[in-house]
Amino acid sequence: MDVNLIRARMNLFAVLQNLEDLVALDSEMTKFTRSWNLSIQFSVLNGPSAFLEFKQGSCKHGAGKHPNPTVRLLFLSPAHVNKMFDGKGSPIPLKGFSKLGFLQKDFAKLTGRLEYFLKPAKGQVQDETYRKINTTLSLYTAAYAVRELALLEPTCKQLANATPNGVLMIHVLPDGPAVHLTVEKGLFAVGKGVHAHPTAKMTFKDLKAANDLLGGRLDVSLAVSEQSLMLSGVLPVIENTTMILDRVEKYLA
């Protein structure tokens, strides 16, 4: 098992994708990126790649190669990617040298804002606006991380292979966020938003309950007993997925 590869894929596909929603949800970043019209390619030598595309205050994340990126950044190994996400390393620019100042200043401000919302200081989640963004980004990070763990991590791969085909929807009442994970032959696909016909559901009674569980201040058993979390549908889908979820922190802490 290549731990660095697992972490790199989680960073590229679970953490980086949050910039889509950060730009949409955080009015400060919507305004800050409104004039951006560029794309950034992140590529690991002989490994995974992802890109970000910014247009008029919106951001799109994608897996694979962008057809014509404004900036192309190379990483020599998965460990190199992880060093950048840990703030201890820098990529190798291959294209877009005129944008180096942008990367060091403006893009760094955006990623710093992402860290601000993903790693709350004590007491920050008491603010309703902060809590909503933190919960949304944390939920999406966890869902996309499950996909990567099920693909590569041996224990999670076994759990995924033992999971019945179906759709697990995780929904925070009354109006979201929501995410759904589709399982087919041991492989997970992730979709944002409500699914019309899920096989199983994990429904949080409110944003605080979801935030407490995602933040490690509440466990699933207690949440269920307090009716802060309602489970329904095909239980093996829920049980196996939550066991994979429990391992996310090991790689993204």
- CB–CB of 14/145 below 8 Å? yes
Mean pLDDT of the chain: 95
Tell me the longest C-alpha to C-alpha distance in the chain.
56
Paired with 190 in beta bridges are: 181
**Predicted local confidence at residue 126, as pLDDT:** 81
* Among candidate residues 209, 216, 204, 213, the one with its CA nearest the CA of residue 253: 216
The percentage of the chain sitting over the pLDDT mark of 70, rounded to a whole number, equals 100
Is the separation of the CB atoms in 117 and 130 below 8 Å? yes
Kindly give, in sequence order, each residue whose CB lies less than 8 Å from that of residue 186, ignoring residues fewer than 6 positions away.
150, 157, 160, 161, 163
Residue 132 has pLDDT above 90, yes or no: yes
Quote the pTM value. Answer: 0.95
Confidence band for 146, pLDDT divided at 50, 70 and 90: very high
Rounded (10°) angle between helices 18-25 and 128-152: 170
pLDDT given at position 1: 74
State both tokens at 114: 């992402």
pLDDT at position 49 over 80: yes
Least reliable range by pLDDT among 64-73, 117-126, 171-180, 186-195: 117-126
Instruction: For residue range 11-39, list pLDDT tens digits in order.
Output: 999 999 999 999 999 999 999 999 999 99
Predicted confidence band of residue 218 (pLDDT cuts 50, 70, 90): confident
Quote the CA–CA distance of 145 and 236 in Å, as a whole number. 19
Torsion over CA: 211, 217, 222, 226 (sign): negative
Q: Comparing C-alpha atoms, which of 82, 81, 57, 55 is closest to residue 66?
A: 55
- The CA angle 113-135-60, to the nearest 5 degrees, is 55
Residue type, 213: L
